[in-house]
Structure 1
Amino acid sequence: MKKSFIFTYFLLLLLTVSTALIASSGTISKGFVFLIMGISAIKFLLVAFQFMELKKANSFWKVSLILTLGLLIILIVCLK
């Protein structure tokens, strides 16, 4: 169990650094916004399922969280 926490932590660090590199690359187009939001969604789901132990929750909460996150990302990307 501890190894999975450490692996998740380093994966989150790697995704954060990659997001920072993408954001500092210059002009931000709609594709870059979609990529950054996708990486952010992955990070959010990693934290929710691994550290908040959502993986042990009822299926309703899992599905509602994923659908809400997807709707939020679609709204942000479309409004950019």
Structure 2
Amino acid sequence: MKKSLLFTYGLLIALTLFTALISKSDFLSNSVILLIMFFSAIKFLLVAFQFMELKKANPFWRLSLSFVLGLLVLVIVLIK
């Protein structure tokens, strides 16, 4: 298996565990929610670019996906 795939997989596991740990904290301030959303967006981009081969796609699709993801995270954070 490629080292980059194993590294990405390990990073996904680490981000998931860290997100689970901070979500169990006694207080859920806006900064914790923002951090959880940021980690979720990073995990989404890692899966899309590494495992779904989006890194080989047309730049339009890469840019539009990143834009829509940023917009979605922004809307969710602003609603909270």
TM-score by length of 1: 0.97
Please give the alpha-carbon distance, in whole angstroms, between the structure 2 residues aligned to 1:26 and 1:42: 24
2:62 is matched with which residue?
Answer: 62
Secondary structure at 1:28's aligned position in 2? coil
- Shift of residue 2 of structure 1? 1.1
RMSD (CA atoms): 0.9
- Shift of residue 60 of structure 1? 0.3
Which one-letter code corresponds to 1:76 in the other structure?
Answer: I
Which one-letter code corresponds to 2:64 in the other structure?
Answer: S
Secondary structure at 2:78's aligned position in 1? helix
2:53 is matched with which residue?
Answer: 53
Number of corresponding residues:
80
Query: Following superposition, which runs of at least 4 residues in structure 1 exceed 3 angstroms of deviation?
Result: none
Please give the alpha-carbon distance, in whole angstroms, between the structure 2 residues aligned to 1:39 and 1:48: 14
Alignment identity in percent? 62
1:29 is matched with which residue?
Answer: 29
TM-score by length of 2: 0.97
